[in-house]
Amino acid sequence: MEQRELTIHGRRLKYRIGGKGPLVLLIHGMAGSASTWKQVMPALSERFTVLAPDLLGHGDSDKTKGDYSLGAMASTLRDLIVALGYERATVVGQSYGGGIAMQFVYQYPERCERLVLVDAGGLGTEVNPVLRWLTMPGAEAVLLVGCAPPVRRIVETIGRVAFRKKLENATVIPELWRSYSSLGDVEGRRAFLRTLRAVIDPRGQSVNAHEKLHLAAGIPTLIIWGEDDGIIPVEHAHAAHATIQGSWLEIIEGVGHYPHCEAPERFVDSLTEFIESTRPARIKVSQKRILSTPPPPVAAESN
CA distance 112 to 174: 31
State the catalytic residue, choosing from 45, 61, 95, 270.
Answer: 95
- Going along the chain from its start, the domains and CATH numbers come out as 2-126+206-287 (3.40.50.1820), 129-201 (no CATH)
The model's pTM = 0.86
One-letter-per-residue 3-state SS of 46-75: CCCEEEEECCCCCCCCCCCCCCCCHHHHHH
- Beta partners for residue 18, in sequence order: 50
State the catalytic residue, choosing from 54, 75, 229, 236.
Answer: 229
Nearest to 28 by CA among 215, 208, 195, 209: 195
What DSSP state is assigned to residue 300? P
CA distance 115 to 176: 25
E strand or H helix at 223: strand 221-226
Residue 283 has a pLDDT of 87
Residue 146 has a pLDDT of 57
Catalytic residue list contains 228: no
CA distance 218 to 284: 12
One digit per residue, the tens of pLDDT, for the chain of length 303 reads 889 999 998 999 999 999 999 999 999 999 899 999 999 999 999 999 999 999 999 999 999 888 889 999 999 999 999 999 999 999 999 999 999 999 999 999 999 999 999 999 999 999 988 888 888 887 777 666 555 565 455 555 555 544 444 444 455 666 665 665 666 677 888 888 889 899 999 999 998 888 888 777 789 999 999 999 999 999 999 999 999 989 999 999 999 999 999 999 999 999 999 999 999 999 876 555 554 444 444 444 433
State the catalytic residue, choosing from 28, 58, 236, 257.
Answer: 257
Instruction: Count the helices and strands in the chain (H runs, E runs).
Output: 12, 10
CA distance 268 to 129: 31
Catalytic residue list contains 241: no
Catalytic residue list contains 286: no
